[in-house]
Amino acid sequence: MYVAVKGGEKAIDAAHAQLRRERRGPLDVPELSLAQISFQLKLAVDRVMAEASLYCPPLAALAVKQACGDLQEAVFLLRAYRTTLPRFGSSQPVDTSSMRVSRRISATWKDLPGGQILGPTFDYTHRLLDRSLSRTEGAPDTSAPLTEEKLNVKNLPRAMSALNAEGLLEPAADTSSCREVADLTRRPLELPADGPEDRPVRLQTLARADEGFLLGMAYSTQRGFGAVHPFTGELRRGFVELVITPEELDFPIVAGELEMTECDTVSRYTGSAMPPCLTRGYGLVFGNNERKAISMSIVDRALRAKELKEPVTGPAQNPEFVLLHGDNVDASGFVQHIKLPHYVDFQAELSLIRSLREAGKKAADASPSRGERS
């Protein structure tokens, strides 16, 4: 016998208690500390900070722990916290030219002022499982300790400035034509967002977009859905100072340092609106995330199709497509909302299908010669 379902509250409580137990796992395994997550799973923490648009390694580490390592869930946790924070001012634009660089490469020049600095990278590692890492206790630490000097190259000249001088590279965007940089989290995105003056809000959207989504979009342009043929003009990673001028003081102060990854790509302009030249794409992301910075710069370039009068042939060139579908908090929530009960709609569909079939059957019975049942 069916009875009206009650007990939702109890079920939720029980489910959450189970989740807490599952998060902790077997009690004979030591519990993860936030410091371990911050330092040993740093790239996970960086990704969460970037997509949550909140630079705070301890809170991002907490989110990673609370989300059992589900990084999109961690992004969501941190975003939901970020949205409650008061805005007490805007920083000055970060000056990436004076970045304290830990890695800087250019794929367009063999050597360049300041040199190539390979730095810590997975590039050129052989992806062979390192069994020595499976031993955690008593293993001697063979790596050299991190020294500050090694990470202290500052004020490197920009790789692209050589092209600038010759006039082969389109000039950096004239920021005076751009709208005041809108805060996407405080003002809704206005479409079509396809003009040069919309580039700041596009870049802001890309900076917090899902890494996987951007990667796929960038990849699609390279395979032919939208023509971008990028070169990595410069990729740099390191620490920049965050400078603010508080309302009550009339001079700027340094609030702290952020780690950021910046990517400048150049690609040959194949359209007809400008003389042959190189065009720019730009990527800038919190933390260490080269995959995303590069993807972002390619997608940024692809989204300038209208401005540069290029034919729009791929989804990555369509601002509405890219900007509205790259946010993983939005996407993950909406895709998974089909887990919620839909009895009412489903019932409505059932009764519609039944009535349509019934009507179709009656019509067919009435005129059997027609035989049209579809």
Partner 1 sequence: MMTLQQDICNDTRKKTPLEGYNFAYLDESTKRMIRRGLLKAVAVPGYQVPFAGREMPMPCGWGTGGIQVTASVIGEEDVLKVIDQGSDDTTNAVSIRRFFAGTTGVETTTHTAEATIIQTRHRIPEHPLNENQILVYQVPLPEPLRWLEPSEKETRTLHALEEYGLMNVKIYEDIMRHGAIAMSFDYPVRVNGRYIMSPSPIPRFDNPKMHQCPALQLFGAGREKRLYAIPPYTDVKSLDFEDYPFEVQRWEEPCALCGARHTYLDEVVLDDTGRRMFVCSDSDACAENRARQGMTEVSHE
Ranges within 44-103 binding partner 1 (CB under 8 A) = 76, 79-80, 82-84, 86, 88
Total residues in contact with partner 1, by rule CB under 8 A:
54
The stretch near partner 1 (CB under 8 A) out of 165-173, 229-237, 284-292, 339-347 is 339-347
| Whole-number Cα distances in Å, 271 to 63, 141, 304, 309 | 46, 55, 12, 7
Distance in Å, CB of 320 to partner 1, minimum: 6
Residue 5 in contact with partner 1, rule: CB under 8 A: yes
Residue 144 in contact with partner 1, rule: CB under 8 A: no
CB 207 within 8 A of CB 184: no
One of 14, 43, 139, 356 touching partner 1 (CB under 8 A): 356
Q: Where are the alpha helices (DSSP H) in the chain?
A: 8-24, 34-40, 42-52, 57-66, 71-82, 161-166, 199-207, 211-222, 290-302, 319-325, 328-336, 343-366
Residues 6 or more apart in contact with residue 47 via CB below 8 angstroms: 71, 75, 211, 287, 289, 292
Q: Which of 122/343 has CB closer to partner 1?
A: 343
> Rg of the Cα trace of the chain?
26
Q: What is the spatial distance between Cα 86 and Cα 213, in angstroms, rounded to a whole number?
A: 30
Q: Map residues 173-192 to x or -, x wherever contact with partner 1 holds by CB under 8 A.
A: ------------xxxxxxxx
Token pair in block for residue 265: 């790509």
Q: Map residues 186-225 to x or -, x wherever contact with partner 1 holds by CB under 8 A.
A: xxxxxxx---------------------------------
Q: What is the spatial distance between Cα 118 and Cα 341, in angstroms, rounded to a whole number?
A: 52
One of 26, 30, 275, 341 touching partner 1 (CB under 8 A): 341
Q: Map residues 316-335 to x or -, x wherever contact with partner 1 holds by CB under 8 A.
A: ----x---x----xx-xxxx
Ranges within 103-142 binding partner 1 (CB under 8 A) = none
One of 110, 131, 223, 337 touching partner 1 (CB under 8 A): 337
| Whole-number Cα distances in Å, 242 to 53, 99, 206, 255, 259 | 15, 11, 21, 6, 10
Positions touching partner 1 (CB under 8 A) are 2-12, 76, 79-80, 82-84, 86, 88, 185-192, 320, 324, 329-330, 332-337, 340-345, 347-352, 355-356, 359-360, 363
